[in-house]
Amino acid sequence: MRLAIEIIAKLFGCLFILSIMVGCSKKPSLETKNIRYQFRDIIDVKGIPKKAVPDTNLEINPFSDMGAWHAYHLPEIDDKKYYGGFTGPLYIAQEYGRWLSKSFNRIKIHNSQNGEEVKLADCEDLDLVYYPGLLVQRYNMKDLVLNLELRFVTNRTALVTTRIQNKTNKDLNLKLSWDGELLEHSSINDSKTLDIKLEASKNGIRVKFPDVNWTWDAFTSSEMEYEVTYPCEVEVETDGKKYIIETDEISIKPEKEYTINTANTYTFTKDEKDRESEKIANILKNPTEYIKDNEIRWEEYLKNALKGENRDYDRLIVKTVETLITNWRSPAGAIKRDGITPSISYKWFNGVWAWDSWKQAVAVTSFAPELAKDSIRAIFDYQRDDGMVIDAIFYNKNGYNYPGEKGGNWNERNSKPPLAAWAVWEVYESSGDKAFLEEMYPKLVKYHNWWYIARDNDKNGIAEYGGSVDPLNSEEEEIIRAAAWESGMDNAVRFDIDYGVRVLDNINEDGKLIGYSINQESVDLNSYLYAEKRYLERIAEVLNKNSEANKYEKEAEYVKYFIQMNMFDEETGFFYDVDISTKEPLVNRGKGIEGAIPLWAEAASKKQAEIVKDILVDETKFNTKVPFPTASKDNERYEPKRYWRGPVWLDQAYFAVKGLKNNGYEDEAKKLAKKIVENIQGGMVDGEVIRENYNPENGEGLHCTNFSWSAGMLLLLCMEYLI
């Protein structure tokens, strides 16, 4: 039954005062001066949620910005019932994405003289479009044009600007209404219901959440709120699950325009809400300032990212920027800084990972250097006293991921490959921020030293992957799992237990167990550590720490010598992990892309680099349709669709391309970069998204959608080799 709602008498007057009446029939043309309007629908964000709990990977691509923890979509052309609303929103229930509604705040327009609805569903001249940082709906009707724009103006609030232009030569008298209905929020096994409710607020409608802590499914608290705020007081009648808001009559002069702005806000705590409420008052008072700030910020992003002369890859570059910015999350819960999650589109990926953050920072610094810096800092905020940097952090420090296991999402069982110094240096080179180097240097040194304290079993200055002393590392098989995770290559062939992988205890001078290593010294890990020593050397030189720079230079030469003398197999012409006891390459495990990392780190000899180059460009090994599978095609355990046993991961592909260039093979690097970019599914195709990894044989996108480090590496490949 339609809910009867009365609006307080002064609503019309207040709305009229706050409305912006402009004298032309067209909205200001930004197309000629703003880069964003050249790039429409690079990613398809259209669709209607069918249920509150998404599949593991979102069925609809989201749009978010500024680190907000909620996101929106557009209706499809065929979704006529939902015209006039931005679909969703998707909100992150601290760690798990859910849809609040099919379309929460949808406008309806009635002619107040005859009571007839101006049916948007009948509109044939309409446009539903996603520009970078902006969702737009435009409905060109017989008597009016309705324009709706959604943009984020803070890290908690999206602003919806509604403009109605009178096309007639007489006054247009209208009544406006907005409605919405909550989706039913069941648990993952439908045995529980998340009892969220609507309630009227002074200036709109809000959603209240219960205190819930469900394993695998949702975390909410009674302080969480989603609220739509109007620029005047309103009265709302609701049954707790759906609502309608109506205005008194508004009158628009011929060829004039009426504008109203509404704030759409999602907050986690009362303190957040109180702070945001102050901002909202100013946003609704001065909306044009915030709209302009959004335009300037996105103009800067795009201008910085599109610096090259070759325009062939502009649309892919914009896609990478859109992907990275949508995955940006601002401080919330235990996450203290802005960071970039792997993907808002994947159920388990709403946290911040260490090596993801470092790789993404190297790309993001090209267009948003402050976000890049904070992405690095966010991980180091939880550096342990012994120097260890843990794998991943989430909103909840003591949340649940496994039944009965606290803090499961906070993987403290292992670290991740040491790419932090590389990231810090690249951010410094891009930004020139010496203070950032000074801030990060002692943390980098502490982390670097940790590898040799906790992961160098035989104390020979060459490290191994392993695991920390942790309740979840209680059995050998689990420690080997942690070691594989620590490599980042979770199920790579070289960590198969049947190859003889074993666990070694790492004991300190006091006889205390401080961690575990597996019985192989990994070529990628020690190449990363070699590179890290060279980056620490450079940073120390900038900071006038000459003795420390000399120390890292000498240490680097030792590691480089070890890699060249022990980790290269002359017969097969490739680099491998080595057995910790014999120091012999583990050739029987086959070639993996980790063998290209010495070229990236510039740790290979000239002769070795040339031999490895020949293998990397060999079409029977690594030069597949999309080059650089994680296991070579001639590896007996190669599987082109099985995570780290064949699919192309673009970070490793980038390192391989960079390795070729670093060793003088620039033509090969450019050709292979072009082959990667042009052969991955959806890379050069509008509407399609960037994936977690790719089938090397046909370019099919695999696993998670809208994946951040893939976007970052594609951006770097374009900027460094193609434009």
User: How many Cβ atoms are within 10 Å of 315's Cβ, its own excluded?
Assistant: 15
DSSP string, 287-354: HHHHHHHHHHHHHHHHHHHT-SS-GGGHHHHHHHHHHHHHTEE-SBTTB-S-EE-S-TTBTT--SEEH
| 490 labelled catalytic | yes
Question: Which H helix or E strand runs over 356?
Answer: helix 354-364
Give how far Cα 323 sits from Cα of 358, 377, 555, 715, Å: 16, 21, 39, 11
225-229 vs 218-220, strand pairing mode: unpaired
Asked whether 563 and 529 are in contact (CB, 8 A), the reply is no
Catalytic residue among 426, 537, 555, 692: 692
d(CA 55, CA 346) in angstroms, rounded, equals: 9
| 524 labelled catalytic | no
Asked whether 494 and 577 are in contact (CB, 8 A), the reply is yes
Asked whether 648 and 633 are in contact (CB, 8 A), the reply is no
d(CA 681, CA 356) in angstroms, rounded, equals: 22
Catalytic residue among 249, 490, 557, 666: 490
d(CA 338, CA 212) in angstroms, rounded, equals: 26
Tokens describing residue 683:
């890379």
d(CA 92, CA 74) in angstroms, rounded, equals: 18
d(CA 3, CA 314) in angstroms, rounded, equals: 49
Question: Which H helix or E strand runs over 117?
Answer: strand 117-118
Tokens describing residue 280:
């909202």
708-717 vs 314-326: helix crossing angle, rounded to 10? 150
DSSP string, 266-286: EESSHHHHHHHHHHHHHHHHS
d(CA 148, CA 205) in angstroms, rounded, equals: 19
Tokens describing residue 250:
């508004």
Give how far Cα 430 sits from Cα of 323, 437, 495, 535, 551, Å: 21, 12, 37, 15, 26
Asked whether 634 and 590 are in contact (CB, 8 A), the reply is yes
**3-state SS assignment for residue 546:** helix
**3-state SS assignment for residue 127:** strand
d(CA 671, CA 679) in angstroms, rounded, equals: 12
Asked whether 598 and 604 are in contact (CB, 8 A), the reply is yes
* Cα dihedral 485/486/489/495 (nearest 10): -80
Closest CA to 99 of 79, 71, 127, 80: 71
Rounded to a whole number of angstroms, the distance between the first and last alpha carbons of the chain is 59
HEC assignment per residue over 415-445: CCCCCHHHHHHHHHHHHCCHHHHHHHHHHHH
Give the residue numbers annotated as catalytic, written as ranges.
Answer: 490, 692
